[in-house]
């Protein structure tokens, strides 16, 4: 009798172990499928690139003057060519970017909705020796 009860307990332990392995495997498959594991986080690199480009534009006196002389709001189509070229040459190929120039007291948002992760940085361009008309230059980037 004792031997038969021990066999039942042994089979119950085997079934419990099998079910626990199935549960753990199921959870791992769901996590991997959702992309929580192995997904590379590029946000830090994108933000560093954006800040670098925006600082270069901010410190260039010609580009500053173009930003301050522009009629607001300025969308990507109307951005001065040298600013567009600077952004396009410095940002990685896997990113697509939109540039906006807005007044400092306005919300500077993208013109179109992008259904993915968008990285945004802005810089204030306030004045030159001749002009004081604060503006914000905002750069939106997303993965193509």
User: Which is nearest to 141 in space by CA: 103, 100, 80?
Assistant: 100
CB distance 144 to 96 below 8 Å: yes
What pLDDT score was predicted for residue 55?
Answer: 95
Q: What is the pTM of this model?
A: 0.70
- What is the per-residue pLDDT across 89-127, written as a single tens digit (0 to 9) for each? 999 999 999 999 999 988 989 988 889 999 999 999 988
- Rounded to the nearest 10 degrees, the angle between the axes of helix 81-90 and helix 61-69 is 120
CB distance 80 to 66 below 8 Å: yes
Place of tokens 């909705």: 113
CB distance 58 to 87 below 8 Å: no
3-state SS of the chain: helix, strand, coil percent to 5? 50, 20, 30
Two structure tokens written together for 108: 């500077």
- Rounded to the nearest 10 degrees, the angle between the axes of helix 61-69 and helix 43-59 is 90
- What is the per-residue pLDDT across 17-33, written as a single tens digit (0 to 9) for each? 999 999 999 988 887 77
What pLDDT score was predicted for residue 38?
Answer: 59
């Amino acid at each position: 009798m004792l031997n038969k009860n021990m066999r039942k307990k042994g089979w119950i332990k085997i079934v419990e172990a099998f079910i626990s392995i199935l549960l753990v495997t199921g959870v791992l498959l769901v996590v991997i499928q959702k992309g929580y594991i192995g997904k590379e986080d590029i946000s830090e690199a994108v933000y560093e690139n954006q800040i670098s480009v925006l600082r270069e534009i901010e410190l260039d006196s010609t580009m500053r003057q173009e930003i301050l002389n522009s009629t607001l709001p300025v969308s990507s189509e109307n951005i001065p060519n040298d600013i567009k070229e600077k952004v396009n040459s410095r940002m990685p190929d896997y990113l697509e970017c939109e540039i906006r120039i807005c007044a400092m007291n306005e919300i500077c948002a993208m013109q179109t909705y992008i259904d993915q992760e968008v990285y945004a940085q802005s810089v204030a361009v306030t004045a030159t020796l001749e002009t004081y008309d604060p503006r914000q230059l905002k750069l939106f980037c997303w993965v193509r």
